[in-house]
A and B are shown apart, each in its own frame.
Chain A
């Protein structure tokens, strides 16, 4: 039994506490700054501004556009301006409050439509247009006509990752003039690269170690307090800890892009899709973060897991003065799925077809082409997943009515509805990105017994990667004693724990390193035939007869292999037509949701969710099911309650009192079917698991509410007033 130390539990003797002054305005010029009152507070050791950034003053994942600390202009509410180090967190907060600062408040750009079209809209960044990225996709005949046409406009609110462990870390100055940073993140090396640039240090002087991560979901892909804590530590010569509070956390990380989506689906009389035309607007907020890749995902996955011969798709990402948006579980595929699945239901209704039937008739199959022209290789069990969730027995009575324990109905007004959704997601990094993972594996005798040490920089963010790495070693090397070393930058990059990629990538790297070790070990068994396996510390032949002992073969000499492992390469998208083999692997999940809705009050109880997902190979079946449960809950949250509400660029609900997450009373029992249809290209045939369940649960829940109520419901989260229509 052990205790898991989260990054917020970090401690060093003699450490100082950091705190951050943030802009209260979405757009303003800083007209005056007086640090004196803060510096005069006893116990305050440093008060730093943009002028104190030792190296590059900007950072960013795709575009280096975000100031470490704002210089003369702030572009979103919550943008950091000054950081303080003090001997007590309360002292640090008081110092922040004591700083004198004045602003010239400017009108913020908050409407992405205006940011795109209106030449009079101010530029969020003076040196570039508000259009961050446009991804067009043109496939087939842009003028194709169809017998049945359905159109719709949809909106997705700003969801937050809402991880429970707020941004936190500890920066410790080192004797060599460098820094050791203990940090909860998703990708140590991309942090290292950015922190080193901003500190003006060589990468080897900036050493990162993963601290206990309390959830991520994309929100830890960008920097938060990393550079700030390091600046304060280097300036004061003392360890500096920064921990955001819950409210600050809502301003400390990027969110899911709010979206406006316009779709037109044309189909023949049998319901087979002839064309899809779509326009997707994604609000990137004040800084780019990973918006470009999100836009590409929305575009390339924007017609869903359907075979569509003619596609005209335009997806746009915009700068506004809203909070910056970036990575969140589902990454552009979520927004599109709500719209295209709503459209498929509309199409079914227009044709008088069953919603599953219309989907099955258009289902993508192996060998079909995506709108990008990419051929879908490997299993694509779209129709099978749909039929599977449809085939389950209907849900029984609910445990309690909509409204929960709050006694709002004794059955009055309650109607039931069932809805379906299916989604598609790319796994791993796309568009020609050089995506790799590094693993160092060492086999040696410890106390006379073979033992393995695995060292990677892969971030365990709660998904179970530590366990998976050990499983792979035990499977490949037949050694029971496996230690997973702490993830740090002393070994090569593992890439990000995102895009559902880490079991695929770091798992692939660990497996490849184990295979290299195995080859070297078996080379020592000269004269023994092929087909040997390593089992329980022994080398066995095809009959299971023990032919050697790993410990004997190994002797005193350790075998160590470091492998840099890549998935098959991808291509960039053609900038005019969006054609290209941009994605590595596609993953699919389907959901059936059953809801009870109180028609008079607009309250919803999701009674049951049935889901089916192809995972290629369930490396850890319990963890896979956990991902599917959790992802589904996050999608249910987007359907019913999770939204950062903005007015004029300001966040109205930065707390768990008013940013509502589903509770155990909101999440119903689930039936989960896991298919294991091997992908020929991936390690063990596995398919990324984490994101697909988040994508299709949202449209399934909304479709069920529509089925119960007849309400149009073109926006998520659905609110009670949308259902009752007041």
Chain B
């Protein structure tokens, strides 16, 4: 196994184009587990940690561009005010050590249905910047995932950054685990309210082959929330929203939980997060 440490992004893309057996590695919190469990023996490990640009973030117009190598810890500390939902999700990732190493770009690269960053990025309507020697493209996050641990990432592409609009309303993230820390999601849910355009964003984790939005629930809530009056949330609306979120999932039974429980829990989380977010909005 070769271990290559390109000093620049251009070098990394060149290697990626030449070596289809290269596996990119950033924090290593997924890749190293796979190596240690002998699930993978890639021909090349492509170490992206020497590329300084990857670990920066900046506003670009109205959007935030977050380099793929920005760690969860930095999301929490540096972007918690602008991306509260993503920061809440980041706090639930592993242990402090894992949050120091793990990156949003790596999470997207693994494309696990249980990736904690995915639901808030879905709810916020993020875009993923993919790059190769052929050029750069932006993919809407809800078109990025194609199956369990699969994405539209081409064999010669690397994830460069995530583009996302800073929160323009309350955001929430909730995650179910069978212990109180350091746990992979049994199911998770992210919610973003966009009062300016009277829209609701959602993201479901660990309850379908890919992270996904609950589109019908989004439309329902957007139509039912009393945006004009900012009146209290009708319990029936919250409950129906929960049902629609649960209906949008297609969970399975596995070691972490049953499909029935996942669906049930999603309904509860959706109901609760909508209640909290609406309360935040109304002050």
Contact = CB atoms under 8 A, between A and B. Distances in A.
A600 B268 contact: yes
B37 A403 contact: no
Contacts of B177: 403-404, 406
B180 A409 contact: no
Interface stretch (B4-12, B43-51, B124-132, B253-261): B253-261
Nearest to A405: B91
Contact of A402 (B174, B180, B181): B180
Contacts of A403: 174, 176-177, 180
Interface stretch (A254-262, A277-285, A652-660): A652-660
Given A408-B269, A409-B272, A655-B37, A720 B180 contact: no
A414 B147 CA distance: 36
A603 interface: yes
Contact of B179 (A407, A409, A640): A640
A645 interface: yes
B91 to A, nearest CB: 5
A666 B178 CA distance: 10
A403 B177 CA distance: 7
Interface string A383-401: 0000000000000000010
B97 interface: no
B265 A720 contact: yes
B179 A641 contact: yes
B contact face: mostly helix, strand, loop, or mixed: mixed
Contact of B176 (A247, A655, A720): A720
Interface in B15-74: 33, 36-38
Contacts of B182: 663, 665
A605 B178 CA distance: 10
Contact of B180 (A247, A605, A652, A726): A605
B255 A645 contact: yes
B179 A663 contact: yes
Interface in B234-263: 254-258, 260-261
Given A657-B184, A721-B258, A410 B276 contact: yes
A247 B181 contact: no
Contacts of B179: 404, 640-641, 660, 662-663, 665-666
Contacts of A602: 261
A653 B255 contact: yes
Nearest to A408: B174
Interface in A612-655: 640-641, 645, 652-653, 655
B174 A721 contact: no
Contacts of A29: none
B181 A405 contact: yes
Contacts of B118: none
A245 interface: yes
A contact face: mostly helix, strand, loop, or mixed: loop
The contact size tier of chain A is 35 or more
A660 B178 contact: yes
B172 interface: yes
B181 A663 contact: yes
A93 B35 CA distance: 13
A406 B257 contact: no
A284 B91 CA distance: 42
Contacts, number: 102
Contacts of A721: 257-258, 260-261, 264
A665 B181 contact: yes
A720 B33 contact: no
Contacts of A408: 174-176, 269, 272
Nearest to A722: B261
A547 interface: no
B80 to A, nearest CB: 13
Contacts of A640: 178-179
A655 B272 CA distance: 32
Contact of B181 (A404, A603, A657): A404
B276 A658 contact: no
A572 interface: no
B164 interface: no
B92 interface: yes
A412 B172 CA distance: 16
A666 B264 contact: no
A178 to B, nearest CB: 34
B88 interface: yes
Interface in A253-293: none
B183 interface: yes
Contacts of A93: 38
Given A245-B37, A665-B180, A726-B261, A407 B256 contact: no
Contacts of B175: 406-408
Nearest to A718: B178
B205 to A, nearest CB: 11
B173 interface: yes
B175 to A, nearest CB: 4
A719 interface: yes
A721 to B, nearest CB: 4
A35 interface: no
A611 to B, nearest CB: 20
B78 to A, nearest CB: 19
Contacts of B36: 245-246
Contact of A603 (B37, B172, B176, B254): B176
Contact of B33 (A407, A409, A657): A657
Contacts of A720: 176, 178, 186, 257, 261, 265
Contacts of B254: 652
A721 B176 CA distance: 12
Interface string B145-171: 000000000000000000000000000
Interface string A404-422: 1111111011000000000
A361 B148 CA distance: 57
A658 B178 CA distance: 10
Contact of A726 (B176, B178, B188, B264): B264
Contact of A406 (B38, B176, B264): B176
A662 B172 CA distance: 26
Interface string A663-680: 111100000000000000
Given A93-B38, A726-B261, A658 B256 contact: yes
Contacts of A605: 180
Given A245-B36, A601-B176, A663-B181, A407 B88 contact: yes
A33 interface: no
Contacts of B272: 408-410, 412
A724 interface: yes
B261 A404 contact: no
A658 B182 CA distance: 11
Interface in A211-244: none
21 contacts: A247-B37, A400-B180, A403-B177, A404-B179, A406-B177, A406-B188, A407-B88, A408-B175, A408-B176, A600-B268, A601-B268, A641-B178, A652-B254, A660-B179, A665-B180, A666-B180, A719-B257, A721-B264, A726-B258, A726-B261, A726-B264
Interface of B: 33, 36-38, 88, 91-92, 172-184, 186, 188, 254-258, 260-261, 264-265, 268-269, 272, 276
Given A407-B172, A602-B261, A665-B182, 14 more contacts: A400-B180, A406-B92, A408-B176, A601-B265, A601-B268, A640-B179, A641-B178, A658-B256, A660-B178, A663-B179, A665-B180, A665-B181, A726-B258, A726-B264
Interface of A: 93, 245-247, 400, 402-410, 412-413, 600-603, 605, 640-641, 645, 652-653, 655, 657-658, 660, 662-666, 719-721, 724, 726
